[in-house]
Structure 1
Amino acid sequence: MKKKYISFLFAACLLGTMPSCSDWLDVTQNIEKDADKMFDNYSGFKGALTGCYSDLTKRDLYGTRMTMSTVDALASLWYLDMSVDYYDYIKENYYLRNHDYSQTMSQSIFESIYSNMYNAVLEVNRVIQAFQEGKGLVISDAKSRAVVEGEAYGLRAFLHLDILRLFGQVPVEASIQVKLPYAEVTSFEQSLTYYTFDEYVSKLKEDIERAKLLLKENDPVGQYTLLELNQVGTKDSDVTLDDDFMSYRQYRMNYWAVRALEARIYLYLGDKAKAHDVALEVINAKTASGKNVVELSSFQDYGQATHKVYSSPSECLFSLHFANLHDISVPLLYGKPEVEGETNAGVVSAQRNLVMSTTWKDDLFVGCDPNDVREDIWSDTKDSQNHEYPTISKYYVEEDSPGIIPLLRLSEMYLIAMEGATTLEEVNTLYSKYMVSKNVSRSDYFKSFDDLKIELPKEYRREFFAEGQMFYFYKRNKTQRLWSNESMLMDEGLYIIPNPDTDF
């Protein structure tokens, strides 16, 4: 992006890292020429698309704020008590938990998320524009060409949905209308068009349809399971691909990830029947040989004797591979990293970590079967004063070990299908299968749809804690009292994050 390049180069001038600032314009023009050449070959397309996924791992996006911190703080999930002298990066979540959007801290966070979301969209748009200009023909294989283009449209839809869910109006029976840009431009200098909610949603659906059309007959997930595509090139694999870039589909916007996103969109819009039907398609997805494309996996991941993985990687339809997750998750969630000479190193602290209270943690699993493996995700950690603060192990990885951040999981498809089901028989069949993956075997679950309505928010909290989904559940239902913050009455306006006054 031009503004990104200019900002970088201007900073370089100030730091004296360039021969002279009089060369600034020439260097800028050379960088722009290099960017134009990026799509002269397939490697350039690969690099550009990989860069789009890399953008999502930024801390202001899904690396932290859109998953484990900011959006879950808006859902009042973290234990935050202003009597504690918090570090600033924890204090900001206190204001968000109490929906105080007037604070400078809050406004700065929203502006950063908003800017980075649209920056990521503009990067995706560069890939889309290259295809629109016919440059995609440098990708000789038609299937690979279609997959790369389809992923770009799927990513654009993914980002725009979360912009809508965070900064847009409530999706049903809104008394407050909000216009937002559906960005199809490729630079900051191009003017943006702001759309009404319905117009924005129409654009969103168009991108989903384009992605589906491009991916359906071309994505290798039609031939192989996600696990098989993760193992290409290893001793455990007998799968060969003509294009190795088509492996590791779980970390990319594959066809079934797009369909899962489609189900999420319809549910958010209140069309539970369509959401149900699409979610069932994802649940029942098969390869050409009849294998399940992906299966529920919580028990498979949690139940390993060693190297337990609590982020449910096996059932992810779309996730981010994070090379340095330890560097982000440990200081934020598990205690200060051990630093020589510092006291209380490695000890959890309510001042500097996002934690739970023991009461909330117990309430999270009240009434649950004691065999439910999801309770294992919580550690009963204590601070230096022996106060107990449960911490979530979902993102714990050893130093220098890669981790994943889930963005779309099969568990969500089960809950979506249950919410849209029209018979209790179907609800209970789906829930039974869902709970077996949590190491719970029962058949007598819901006696009425009212029972289901009561249980669904509990399941979302247990399942997607620190994944940034609970606030959107509350928003689409216009929930007035939030779990763990019932003294505060939510209204429609508090569900609409202020639209920052920024040009990105």
Structure 2
Amino acid sequence: MTSSKYIIAGLLGVVLCTTSCKKWLTVQPKTQMPADALFTTESGFQDALTGVYIQMKAASAYGQHMTFGTIERLTSSWDVTSNTTEQRLGLFNYSDEGVQFALANIYGQEYKIISSINAILAEVDAKKDVFLSPGSYEMMKGECLALRAYCHLDLLRLFGPVPGNIPGGTVLPYVKKISKDPNQHISYEQYQAELLNDLTEAAALLKDVDPFTKYSQADLSNPGSSSSPFRPDNTYSAWRFLRMNYYAVKALQARAYLWFQDNASAYACAKEVIDAKNPDGNAKFRLGVLSDMSGGNLNLSMEHMFGLYDFQLAVKYETHFLSGNLKKGSAVTTVNNQLYGNTGTDIRETNLWSLITLGSGSKCHIMKKYMAATESAVIAPFQIPMLRVSEMYLIAAETAPAGEGQQYWDAFRTARNISIVPLPSDPVQLQRDLVKEYRKEFFAEGQAFFAYKRINAPKASFLWAPSAATINYVVPLPLSEFVQ
């Protein structure tokens, strides 16, 4: 795995100070700059970090294949045509060349993102004096460490072993520096320690300086305006909900601890996010409700601790969903009955899907979560969910001390407008019931496969598994691990 001394950098940090939010969010990377020139100013570091977020929005990462693309094919989320790569992904046919190529693309892109992050981390301490804005050094380093952990966790969840069934030997490289030499694979325990250490350090760096801990999402969306008390010297610190902020780090810790079967730590981190308050005393991240979805906020942006802004989302929706390319069933009953249990009230069941007629005259059922108006001046419709507070409620329901999980389960189900039922006392049944909610909640967000894998769910509880499939959660590493 190698990396050039040249890294792609957007012009985001430069444009921030002089243009509107919408203009800032739609700037494309236009240049390549040598690292020795890029890392001489605070804005240069900001440009480099912007480049990381742009890489994360690539189709081979969270702009498609780690959200609604390849990763959802592993759980048969979309209808397939016979004898295609998409069908073979749902059959867990890892020996197929097309399947190998699709998974290798994800592997390569994740490590490319990590390489760009490491390019920043290699310079940030030595160039600490170029950070002139209060807290900017801590936010830069903290964000990078947490983003590195985010990507490494997804690599482990996809290509690593099933939790609770850890073999000896090595798993994957945890890459912390740029090198021309191949990165060594390390043990599962070492990988876990490196990942959690990155998150611990990131949380410590961000806790006292992240504006998100002191201001609301609305405040951060209107820096310097008469309606906002947030008046930063450098508006790069605005819109923190679109970046890896302090609460996103805590949410990622909760996700990671749950994966590593440390329930007490997972609960503590999830609870901190759930309990977070704005200066007015209201919840910093509230669960979305019926009025939000019926009002058009289909991705429930108020729940996002971290969402990637993708101004091309409307085009992607037309290309992949409205075209019928990504569909599930030719009648509403496929999703309503099998996925949601035909409640008639579940806000996801009643708002997120639409039965459309294609140009050919055939009907298909499509998801509207990523529908965004191209002329919209509002950020929310263009956010790709990366970490949501609903996941924290589900983690808390599973990991809270005896008797306390029910309150989180009740709050979650009430927000989704479905009946309140007791949590099972049997831990295995509890996990399986919760995984059913993960399947509903994070459809087209890339989390279902990981939810199934974490509990090693049997085929009987694996919704839409093809009859010919043999469930295999252990995705083999790409035949070639070389990343340019």
TM interval, shorter chain, is: 0.7 to 0.9
- Quick check: 2:79–2:328 contact (8 Å CA) kept in 1? yes
Work out the percentage of aligned pairs sharing the same amino acid.
31
Aligned to 1:446: 423
Aligned to 1:11: none
Tell me by how many angstroms 1:472 deviates.
0.5
Summarize the alignment of residues 196-345 of structure 1 with structure 2, pairs less than 5 Å apart.
196-234=187-225, 236-287=227-278, 290-304=281-295, 308-335=296-323
Tell me by how many angstroms 1:357 deviates.
5.0
- Quick check: 1:251–1:319 contact (8 Å CA) kept in 2? yes
Tell me by how many angstroms 1:387 deviates.
4.0
What is the CA–CA distance in structure 1 between the aligned matches of 2:224 and 2:291, rounded to whole Å? 23
411, 414, 420: which one aligns with 1:433: 411
What is the CA–CA distance in structure 2 between the aligned matches of 1:412 and 1:177, rounded to whole Å? 32
What is the CA–CA distance in structure 1 between the aligned matches of 2:437 and 2:33, rounded to whole Å? 51
1:217-262 CA-to-partner distances (Å, cap 9, x unmatched) read 1111221123321232445423322331111011110000000000
1:39-96 CA-to-partner distances (Å, cap 9, x unmatched) read 111110110111111110000000000000111111222222418xxxxxxx432221
Q: 1:366 to 1:243 in 2, by over 3 A?
A: closer
356, 367, 379: which one aligns with 1:392: 367
1:329-375 CA-to-partner distances (Å, cap 9, x unmatched) read 3211111xxxxxxxxxxxx3xxx334345343023454464222111
Tell me by how many angstroms 1:121 deviates.
0.3
Q: Does 1:353 align with 2:337?
A: no
In the superposition, the TM-score normalised over structure 1's length comes to 0.83
Aligned to 2:467: 487
Aligned to 1:501: 480
- Quick check: 1:326–1:400 contact (8 Å CA) kept in 2? no
Aligned to 2:454: 476
What is the CA–CA distance in structure 2 between the aligned matches of 1:366 and 1:78, rounded to whole Å? 16
Q: Larger Rg: 1 or 2? A: 1
- Quick check: 1:414–1:434 contact (8 Å CA) kept in 2? yes
Q: 1:110 to 1:5 in 2, by over 3 A?
A: farther
Aligned to 1:341: none
Where is the helix percentage greater, Structure 1 or Structure 2? Answer: 1
What is the CA–CA distance in structure 1 between the aligned matches of 2:75 and 2:474, rounded to whole Å? 10
140, 159, 167: which one aligns with 1:148: 140
In structure 2, the residue corresponding to 1:353 is in which secondary structure?
Answer: coil
One-letter code aligned to 1:137: D
373, 380, 386: which one aligns with 2:347: 373
What is the CA–CA distance in structure 2 between the aligned matches of 1:480 and 1:6, rounded to whole Å? 46
What is the CA–CA distance in structure 1 between the aligned matches of 2:293 and 2:357, rounded to whole Å? 23
Q: 1:32 to 1:328 in 2, by over 3 A?
A: closer
One-letter code aligned to 1:155: L
In structure 2, the residue corresponding to 1:460 is in which secondary structure?
Answer: helix
Q: 1:445 to 1:480 in 2, by over 3 A?
A: closer
One-letter code aligned to 1:469: Q
What is the CA–CA distance in structure 1 between the aligned matches of 2:301 and 2:340, rounded to whole Å? 26
- Quick check: 2:352–2:368 contact (8 Å CA) kept in 1? yes
- Range that drifts further, 382-391 or 44-53: 382-391
Aligned to 1:466: 444
1:88-135 CA-to-partner distances (Å, cap 9, x unmatched) read xxx432221111122221111122111111010010111111123x20
Tell me by how many angstroms 1:475 deviates.
0.9
- Quick check: 1:298–1:315 contact (8 Å CA) kept in 2? no
- Quick check: 2:327–2:364 contact (8 Å CA) kept in 1? no
Q: 1:190 to 1:300 in 2, by over 3 A?
A: farther
One-letter code aligned to 1:434: F
Give the RMSD, CA atoms, in angstroms. 2.6
1:374-405 CA-to-partner distances (Å, cap 9, x unmatched) read 11101012334554321000011233556111
What is the CA–CA distance in structure 2 between the aligned matches of 1:355 and 1:280, rounded to whole Å? 35
- Quick check: 1:225–1:291 contact (8 Å CA) kept in 2? no
377, 396, 404: which one aligns with 2:383: 404
Aligned to 2:90: 97
- Quick check: 1:121–1:183 contact (8 Å CA) kept in 2? yes
Q: 1:500 to 1:210 in 2, by over 3 A?
A: farther
Aligned to 1:363: 337
What is the CA–CA distance in structure 2 between the aligned matches of 1:216 and 1:478, rounded to whole Å? 35
1:165-197 CA-to-partner distances (Å, cap 9, x unmatched) read 11111221234765211111225x243121111
What is the CA–CA distance in structure 2 between the aligned matches of 1:113 and 1:6, rounded to whole Å? 22
One-letter code aligned to 1:183: V
Aligned to 1:106: 99
Q: 1:109 to 1:99 in 2, by over 3 A?
A: same
Structure 1 stretches (4+) deviating beyond 6 angstroms?
Answer: 5-8
What is the CA–CA distance in structure 2 between the aligned matches of 1:490 and 1:427, rounded to whole Å? 33
- Quick check: 2:308–2:385 contact (8 Å CA) kept in 1? yes
Q: 1:144 to 1:430 in 2, by over 3 A?
A: same
1:303-349 CA-to-partner distances (Å, cap 9, x unmatched) read 31xxx1211111100010001112223211111xxxxxxxxxxxx3x
In structure 1, the residue corresponding to 2:34 is in which secondary structure?
Answer: helix
One-letter code aligned to 1:146: E
1:200-219 CA-to-partner distances (Å, cap 9, x unmatched) read 11100110011011001111
417, 437, 442: which one aligns with 2:396: 417
Q: 1:141 to 1:292 in 2, by over 3 A?
A: same
Aligned to 1:16: none
Unpaired stretches in structure 2, ≥5 consecutive residues = 9-30
Q: 1:170 to 1:233 in 2, by over 3 A?
A: same
- Quick check: 1:379–1:392 contact (8 Å CA) kept in 2? yes
Tell me by how many angstroms 1:142 deviates.
4.2
Q: 1:459 to 1:186 in 2, by over 3 A?
A: same
1:252-310 CA-to-partner distances (Å, cap 9, x unmatched) read 10000000000000111122222122111110012456442221124353131xxx121
- Range that drifts further, 146-155 or 367-376: 367-376
One-letter code aligned to 2:301: P
Aligned to 2:20: none
Q: 1:468 to 1:410 in 2, by over 3 A?
A: same
What is the CA–CA distance in structure 2 between the aligned matches of 1:3 and 1:41, rounded to whole Å? 22
